[in-house]
Chain A
Amino acid sequence: MKQTESSTFTVQTGRTVISDETMEYVGILGKLELTQEERQAAKKDMERMLDYIDKLNELDTSGVEPMSHVFSVNNVFREDIVEDRDGGEDTLANAPERRERAFVVPKTVDQ
C-alpha cells in the first residue's frame, strides 16, 4: 500500500459488507432491537467504521504481545475479611420493580 493511501484522513470505503443476519446477530448479542430504518443506518455506519479499522492491517504486529494493561502491576488482592452490613435496602433502592426484598423480572424458566 502506498504511503498516500495510508493517510489519516483518507478512508477507503465500501470494502466491508455486513449482512442483515450479522446485524440481527449483533442485536441479539447486545440486546438491542432496532427499527428497519435504524438498522440500515447502523449497518452503513458499521461498515464504514470497519473499513476504517481495517487500516490496522497495514501494521505488521507479528511477535507483538497484545497489551491489556499499560503498567506491569500484578497481584492486587483483598484479605478475606467480612465487611458486611445488610445491603438490602441500598441494593433495592433503585429497583424498577421489587417485591419485598427481591427484584422482580419476567419469568425466566423456559416451558
Chain B
Amino acid sequence: MKLLSLTAVELGKKIKAGEVTAEEAVLASMDAIEAKEGQVHSFVTIDREGALKQAREVQNKIQEGILTSPLAGVPVAIKDNLCTKGMLTTCSSKILYNFIPTYTAEAVRNLERAGAVILGKTNMDEFAMGSTTETSAYGVTRNPWNTDHVPGGSSGGSCAAVAAEEVCYALGSDTGGSIRQPSSFCGVTGLKPTYGTVSRYGLIAYGSSLDQIGPIAKDVSDCAAILEAIASHDKKDSTSILRKDLDFTSGLTEDVKGMKIGIPRDYLGEGLDAEVKEAVLASAKKLEEQGASVEEFDLSLVEYAIPAYYVIAAAEASSNLERFDGVKYGYRTKEYEGLHNMYKKSRSEGFGTEVKRRIMLGSFVLSSGYYDAYYLKALRTKALIKQAFDRAFAKFDVILGPAAPSTAPKLGESLKDPLKMYLGDIYTVSVNLAGLPAISLPCGLDKKGLPIGLQIIGDCFQEKKIIRAAYAYEQAGTYQRSPLAEQ
C-alpha cells in the first residue's frame, strides 16, 4: 500500500519512469478500497474492471510517449455529481439511483486527456446540499481520522478517500465550502478555483452562479498540477472564462517575502473554536517568519454572507432541481394518478429531507411577492460583499483565516439543527459569492487528534498567489497521515 502514500505527482513520476505501471496503481487502490471501505465508505460506485481496462490503455500510451502529463496513469476518484459516460452518477440521491450519463463532464474529460484513470465515484451530501456527507441516500461517509466523526461535506467522500489513502487525489465541487471544509476536516488540501476557471459542463448543478469544480489532494503541488489539467476555456459553458495564466504550478515557490497577508478580525471572533484560532494564528506567524507581512483588518459584512448565500443557493437549486421529475431519467414512483401526482410522488420519494427543505425555501423566496425582499436583497448583499473583498485585495495579496469554525463534529450531531449547520459555512460562503479562489490546507490537529484547516483566499484569478503562500507554509511542516491511512 506504499504507493498510495505518494502524492499524485510523485506516483505519476514513478509510472513515467517505468517503476510502476498504471495497472499496478489501480490494483493498489482497489486493495486499499477493499480494506478500508467498510470503515470509511468514501465511494458510491467503484469501477474495478473499467479502471483496469483504462489503465492498460493509458499505460500503452505512456510507453508510446503519447501521454506525458504528470498525472498520466494515476488513478482518481470523482465526486458523484460529475457526469461520467457509462458510469452511474447519482449525486448521492435516490432520484438518480439508476442514472447512467451519456456524456462526461468537461473537467473529467480534461483529466482523461491527461491520462488519468477513473476508479469510481465518491459519496457526497445529496445534490451537494450539506456539510457532513450525512445526507447521502447511500449511507454516511466517516472521517478517516476518527470514524465517529463526519468527514465534512459536501465533498466528504472525495476528501475521505484521499485522507484514507484509497486514492492519491480526487475531484470535488464547491458551492459554499464543499471542497474546503471537508478538506479541513479530513486533513487534506483542497482548492476552489476562481469562478469560471473550470468548466461546469457536466457538473450537476446546485447553485449555478456559485458552483466550481476543484482538486482535493495531499499537498499544494498536487492541487496546482491537477488544476492545471482540469482548467480550460470551454465553449459549452457560457460562464467559462478564457484565461491565459493557467500555469498554476509556476506558483510553487517558497518565496513569500514581501507578500502582504490580511487576517479578517471578523474571522477570529465569536463562534470560532479556540484551538482552531490558535492554529491559524500560529500559521500566520510562520509565514511572517518567512518574510510575509501579516496584518489584521476588518473585512466587514461577514455575518450577512450566510443569509445571502442560502437565499441565492436555494433559489437556484429549486430551479436546477426541477428537471428531476420522473420523465426523462432517474426515479419514477410506482403508482400514481395523472401527471402532477406522478411529479409530486416521484420527487417526494426521490429527494431527501435536506434537499426538499432547500427546494421549498428556494421556491418561496422566488415566489410572487417575495422576490424583491429576498432574492434581489441577497443579490445586492452579494454586490456589497464583493466590494468588501475588492477593498481588501487593494491592500493585501491574500487573506488568511480558518476554513471552518471547528474541527469535524461527531456523526449525527449536525443534522439535528440545520441552521447551526449552515452557520458552520461562515468562513467559506463569501468566497463563492464573490467568485474568488481559495485553498484549504492542514495546519495542525486539535486535542482530539482531528485536523484543523487553514484557508487562504486570493483575489479573482490570483490562484498563483494562494498557491505560493500555501506552498511556502506547507514546506515548513510535514504532511500528517490519518490513522486509517496508516493501516
Contacts and interface: CB of A to CB of B under 8 A. Distances in A.
Real binding pair: yes
Interface string A57-101: 111010011111111010010100000000000110111110000
Contacts of B347: 30-32
A42 B364 CA distance: 12
A1 interface: no
A7 B383 CA distance: 21
Contacts of B100: 93-94
Contacts of B269: 8
Interface residues of A, number: 55
- The prevalent SS among residues of B at the interface is helix
A33 interface: yes
A20 interface: no
Contact of B360 (A27, A55, A95, A105): A27
Interface in B309-340: 310-311, 318, 322, 325-332, 336-340
Interface in A28-47: 29-34, 38, 42, 45-46
Interface string B232-261: 000100110100000000000000000000
For chain B, the bracket of interface size reads 35 or more
Contact of A45 (B318, B351, B362, B418): B418
Contacts of B209: 68-70
Given A26-B360, A61-B377, A78-B235, A71 B460 contact: yes
Contacts, number: 176
Nearest to A31: B343
B394 interface: no
Contacts of B99: 94
Given A29-B367, A31-B325, A96-B327, A53 B339 contact: no
A56 B348 contact: no
Interface string B362-389: 1111010000001011111111101000
Interface string B36-65: 000000000000000000000000000000
Given A49-B419, A64-B380, A64-B384, A103 B348 contact: no
Given A45-B418, A61-B380, A71-B241, A31 B340 contact: yes
Contact of B380 (A22, A58, A67, A69): A67
Interface of A: 6-9, 11, 22-23, 25-27, 29-34, 38, 42, 45-46, 48-50, 52-59, 61, 64-71, 73, 76, 78, 90-91, 93-97, 103, 105-108
Given A8-B303, A53-B307, A94-B328, 15 more contacts: A7-B270, A9-B423, A27-B360, A38-B353, A56-B381, A59-B304, A61-B384, A64-B380, A68-B209, A76-B238, A91-B102, A96-B326, A96-B332, A107-B339, A108-B339
